[in-house]
Structure 1
């Protein structure tokens, strides 16, 4: 697990140990001492610390920086880049790094913004237009001569299926290649065009599932891209001997997930204009969707936090009610025990008086033994002397509510 980044959820108890810090705080840490010294102080490997900082866009001192600084030679810091689309303003830090910043956490993020940096305009439509200009013209290849490296996994799988069919004694029972039909080839070409341009702009793309849908990591947030005909069935388990399914009647569709702001473009279909003609628009929307996901994540996280606090308060009230009920029961037990103890003491006094007045005949030694025995029993029952009153005098601390 990385010491920086991770889930934006605040629900689980283990995340109470995590803290959020700004990129500037991590930048100042990275330039405060050599990586070897910092990693030793934090108890993590130098490689792990360096990789975590670089992954989240924190520039590090170049080789020889600390030697030059110690020798009094002029040195220059690489400035911290402005936030890019989809990057969190505050990053989760874990473990010993969280302990380092526990008393100096970053200021909370506002779901209403502002979000503007030199790389990110406040308006998402403007961000989409800026990304579209940066992308320029995109063409979908007619043949996958140099496919994106992520797509090569799907193509190699089809090659292995073809090899197995060619060498099998029962080829009709072997799994058929998925991307033989023209419709599937078209999906691959569109996915390739999108992934190539997004990778060129620095956004990581990876496949998921059996189809050419993929995930794009824009900054610190993922956008899922589905490319499919509505209602179509998967071809991943089709046997070589099975007939080809009829071409889908529904138009090919591209959809973005998960939730995006209302009105944000998230679906495109073959209509008067084919999907191949709007690949650049879709790629620009994916980049803006990464920024939209960041902004929504703040609201979702604050909502989760409010729900968690409400849940914890509900558990606290339940525990308080149970504690009060137990305290009241202990109070009533004290009253009953005290009455019993006082009754025993009254009985001792009454017997002693009766013997002194001659109404009862008992030798002094036996009377003394009995009075001591009965008094000890009264003291044992007495809630004040036994300490039973502590059950309601002292309020027990409520246990953790998770």
Structure 2
């Protein structure tokens, strides 16, 4: 058996570089060949027995540093003629010593497995650590404790029997235990090995939770992108139809104006003919000719037939005004998405959990888009 535990798959699930989310083939939900229960047992064998030393003779470096600084704080406190609570040492109380012993045991354990704890506070309630690429933290403290760096959090006589709770932070999985607390039957120290194992396995649990969530989010983003694209095409098509309607109205208005102008031009010609037929005065013949020439010129200018304006209009007519191209374009996009999603049905390994439900929901949403907007 190997003396190392590797968390996360080298070929980790990823869709980096996908530029067209709408037509991207997302594939099945990420699966894991080894159940978490099996990981827990492997880690438990590697961790072995975890003990809590009675003293700090072999303390972890961070704990030793805390105690060293706290000893200096105690000496300074005792040397003062007037002593104030905010100058008192942090870890003098039996409760604080119990808490540090438990923290020390956990830190030594994970350090032995290759994971390095970190602390920044002078009066820490716990410590942080990293498993693989997953950042985690653990709190070892009273369930209602507030801690400050400028003063002690416990009276020097605070008993070790005060309640203690250990909580692992950074894991969002309700099925994985991350909290242990004192009860009437036993203390958290009785679960030290379970806590140490859970601290390490929490890295794998967080990793798996994150990539399943990434897959679920990508499916939801794809569904959202489909809907946004549908709305965009709908807006574009509405704008196109409005533009066509405006152009058609302009052509009809122009046609009606030309028809009216043609009638007016003919009315002028008929009027000129009537005037000429009714005029018998030979003395006004020249004036009549001048007026006739002027009037017929106005009729010609007014008449669209004379200027062939209809020919210009005929060149701007739509090839097929009643044909609608928007639905086939949108249907093609949605069909491409559905084809990508339906490929997942051929996958041999599909989770039975939340991820599968998300895939099913995404498929239903995509099919609903096609049914609602295209009628099939």
TM-score (norm 1): 0.56
The residue number in structure 2 matching 1:194 is: 106
Instruction: State the shift of 1:92 in Å.
Output: 8.0
Which one scores higher on RCO, CA 8 angstroms, separation ≥ 6? 2
Q: In structure 2, the residue corresponding to 1:268 is in which secondary structure?
A: strand
Pairing of 1:38-57 with structure 2 (within 5 A)? none
Structure-1 separation of matches of 2:310 and 2:74: 93
Structure-1 separation of matches of 2:211 and 2:5: 16
Matched, 1:287 2:200: yes
The residue number in structure 2 matching 1:341 is: 254
Matched, 1:316 2:229: yes
Question: Where is the helix percentage greater, Structure 1 or Structure 2?
Answer: 2
Matched, 1:254 2:166: yes
CA radius of gyration, larger in: 2
Q: In structure 2, the residue corresponding to 1:339 is in which secondary structure?
A: helix
Q: Which residue among 55, 79, 90 is the counterpart of 2:11? A: 90
With 291-300 and 205-214 compared, the bigger mean Cα shift is at 205-214
Matched, 1:352 2:265: yes
Contact 2:94 2:157 in 1 (8 A): no
Instruction: State the shift of 1:202 in Å.
Output: 1.5
Extract unaligned runs of 5+ from structure 1: 1-80, 100-106, 115-121
Contact 2:96 2:160 in 1 (8 A): no
The residue number in structure 2 matching 1:61 is: none
Contact 1:176 1:239 in 2 (8 A): yes
Extract unaligned runs of 5+ from structure 2: 19-25, 274-291, 331-376
Going from structure 1 to structure 2, the CA distance change for 1:378 and 1:156 (only over 3 Å counts) comes to farther
Q: In structure 1, the residue corresponding to 2:168 is in which secondary structure?
A: strand
Contact 2:265 2:300 in 1 (8 A): no
Going from structure 1 to structure 2, the CA distance change for 1:181 and 1:363 (only over 3 Å counts) comes to farther
The residue number in structure 1 matching 2:138 is: 225
Structure-1 separation of matches of 2:263 and 2:73: 103
Matched, 1:141 2:60: no
Structure-2 separation of matches of 1:265 and 1:375: 90
Instruction: State the shift of 1:342 in Å.
Output: 1.0
Q: Which residue among 27, 32, 39 is the counterpart of 1:113? A: 32
Structure-2 separation of matches of 1:305 and 1:355: 74
Structure-2 separation of matches of 1:328 and 1:141: 81
Instruction: State the shift of 1:301 in Å.
Output: 1.6
The residue number in structure 2 matching 1:22 is: none
Pairing of 1:201-216 with structure 2 (within 5 A)? 201-207=113-119, 211-216=124-129
Which string of whole-angstrom CA distances, capped at 9 and with x for unpartnered residues, describes residues 83-142 of structure 1?
9442243358999xx79xxxxxxx96754422xxxxxxx243333233222222222233
Contact 2:98 2:160 in 1 (8 A): no
Pairing of 1:3-402 with structure 2 (within 5 A)? 84-91=5-12, 110-114=29-33, 122-145=34-57, 147-151=59-63, 172=84, 177-207=89-119, 211-238=124-151, 251-259=163-171, 261-271=173-183, 272-358=185-271, 362-367=294-299, 385=316
Instruction: State the shift of 1:254 in Å.
Output: 1.1
Which string of whole-angstrom CA distances, capped at 9 and with x for unpartnered residues, describes residues 59-96 of structure 1?
xxxxxxxxxxxxxxxxxxxxxx999442243358999x
Which string of whole-angstrom CA distances, capped at 9 and with x for unpartnered residues, describes residues 167-202 of structure 1?
999974966654343323322221221122112111
Contact 1:214 1:226 in 2 (8 A): yes
Contact 1:213 1:224 in 2 (8 A): yes
Going from structure 1 to structure 2, the CA distance change for 1:369 and 1:141 (only over 3 Å counts) comes to farther
Contact 2:88 2:152 in 1 (8 A): yes
Going from structure 1 to structure 2, the CA distance change for 1:151 and 1:315 (only over 3 Å counts) comes to farther
Q: In structure 2, the residue corresponding to 1:255 is in which secondary structure?
A: strand
